[in-house]
Every structure is written in C-alpha cells, then in structure tokens.
Amino acid sequence: MSATGSPRATPVSAASSLGRRSRAEEGQPSLLYSQRYLPLIETGNFEDDWNRLADCDWIVEVVVERLDIKQKLFTRLEEVRRPGTIVSSNTSGLSIRGMTRVARRTSAGTSWSPTSSNPVRYMRLLELVAGEETSPEVMSFMADFGRFRLGKGIVFGKDTPNFVGNRIGVFGIMATMRAMMEMDYQVDEVDAITGPAMGHPSSASFGTVDLVGSTSWPTSSTPSRRAALMTRSGTSSTHRSSCSR
C-alpha cells in the first residue's frame, strides 16, 4: 500500500516473487494441499501486473481490513475487469455494500464475500455472503465449488458486521478474556484449558488470536479496558501455536 492508503503495491522483483512462492511452499502449517500445485501459482504486484486481471474468471480481494482502501481497490478494479467476472472479498466482516458502493459495475451483481476461517488450508468453515444484486446462480455455483471442490462446509450469512463465524468467535474470545481477568489466570493457563483438553484445536484461545489476527475485534470497549486486555494478553506474542485439522 502507498503512504496515502491507496491500493498500490511496491514493485516486486523476480527474486522476491520466488521468495513469496518459497514461503508458500515452506509455510507451517503447510499452505498447500499438494506440492504439485506450486507451479500453478504466480505472484505479481498492483503496478506491473494489474492488467492481467482482465483475463481472470474469479477475482478475490484480500487487502488490509480498511474500508477506504478496499473501496479504492474495487473502484480501480472496475477499469480492468471484464463483464461477468466473479468478484469477491475475503473480508473478516466489513460490509460488502460499503466496499462496493463507490464502484460502478461491481455492485451490479457479481460481488460477494467468501469468508474462510484461518488457516484456510485446514479450517472447514466457508461463509458465503451475497451482495445486494448478486445472482442466485453465482451463489449456487460458488457454494457447489466450495463444498465439492474445496471440501468446505458452507454457511450462508447476511451482509452484517462480522457475518456469522466472527460474531461467535469474537464473543467467545472476549468472554474468555473477561473470565481470565476476573479469575486471575495467565495466558498460558487459559490456553492449557481451552485447547485439546476441551476438544478444541491446539491453538486454543490466545494462540488462535495470534494466528488469525485481531481485525474483527470490537472497538467499542473503553480505552482503559482495551489497554488492560492488551497488557494482560501481551505475552501471547511468544506463544507459538499450531492449528489442528
């Protein structure tokens, strides 16, 4: 991104592109179903490769969770994508209507949101949220693709903040944090309880927060309470977690 917040990428050299592919290949847990798919992956940037989007049948937006940046990207996308291309966002919970209201064609029926639980390679949940004019045919096709080609469990949501999974997940994390503070537990103690001991993934509570980030967390809590939660849970940055299938 540029310093002004516009969706501009730093030029990517051939060496750094190979480096990104290498990270995809060597990531733990593995990001690939099979190493034989690696040659199918190409990297690029928003400056040198933008026009290649005109050849795509399905474009997935995965930029930072800021509404203004996503709006600029969708507006720019309208200049290059061909009619009929499926356009989607992997936002954790921003409004589809809000992201695409400034775009002329995206809001005309092909924009929607597939929200995959992180890490996408292993988590089964796939939420599908239609835009205001997304056709039933597009939703049906993508549901079948997610279910039968990707092996996902499909949940249909509405265009409301944080959709379905993150509303439930954030509530659970915040309730856990409140109980931790009231009962004077430490981060590692909480994760020892809320992981495999409860039949949950080994990432448990704070390991999961480390893994997926915090872009869906509520911002309505008071500054003093947020500071207390951040201070208390700050040691989780050293907690190396993994997520089981």
Structure tokens at 46: 């928003």
124-167 pLDDT, tens per residue? Answer: 889 999 988 788 999 999 999 999 998 999 999 999 888 888 88
Q: Report the domain count for the chain.
A: 2
Side by side, the strands of the sheet bearing 153-157 are 58-61, 86-89, 111-116, 125-130, 153-157
Residue 36 belongs to some domain of the structure = no
- Written as one letter, the residue type at 207 is G
Number of continuous H segments (helices) and E segments (strands) in the chain = 8, 5
Find the DSSP H helices in the chain: 14-26, 67-77, 96-100, 136-144, 165-183, 187-194, 206-212, 223-233
- 153 and 174 inside one domain: no
- What is the rounded distance in angstroms from the CA atom of residue 123 to the CA atom of residue 6? 31
Q: Are 119 and 203 contained in the same domain?
A: no
Q: pLDDT band at residue 120, thresholds of 50, 70 and 90?
A: confident
DSSP-derived secondary structure for 137-161: HHHHHHHHIIIIIS-PEEEEE-SST
DSSP state at residue 234:
G
Higher-confidence residue of 229 and 199: namely 199
Please, which residues have CB within 8 angstroms of residue 234's CB and are 6 or more apart in sequence? none
Say if residues 79 and 85 touch (Cβ distance below 8 Å): no
Residue 6 resides in a domain: no
* Same-domain check for residues 76 and 130: yes
Domain boundary among the residues 122, 157, 192 is at: 157
pLDDT tens, residue by residue, 23-50: 666 767 777 888 888 888 888 889 899 9
Domain coverage including residue 209: 165-238
Q: Taking a C-beta distance cutoff of 8 angstroms, is the pair 243, 123 a contact?
A: yes
- Could you read off the pLDDT of 165-211 as tens digits, one per residue? 888 888 888 899 999 999 999 999 999 999 999 998 888 998 888 87
Q: What is each CA distance from 23 to 20, 90, 132, 242, in whole angstroms?
A: 5, 21, 37, 17
Q: Do 58 and 150 have their domain in common?
A: yes
The per-residue pLDDT for 192 is 95
Does some domain include residue 14? no
d(CA 242, CA 91): 23
**3-state SS of 194-212?**
HCHHHCCCCCCCHHHHHHH
Residues 211/118, Cβ–Cβ less than 8 Å: yes
Query: Is 130 inside a domain boundary?
Result: yes
- Whether residues 147 and 105 share a domain: the answer is yes
Write down the pTM of the prediction: 0.70
Question: Which of the four pLDDT bands, split at 50, 70 and 90, describes residue 214?
Answer: low
Distance, in Å, from the CA atom of 189 to the CA atom of 191, rounded to the nearest integer, reads: 5
**pLDDT tens-place string over residues 60-73:** 998 988 999 999 99
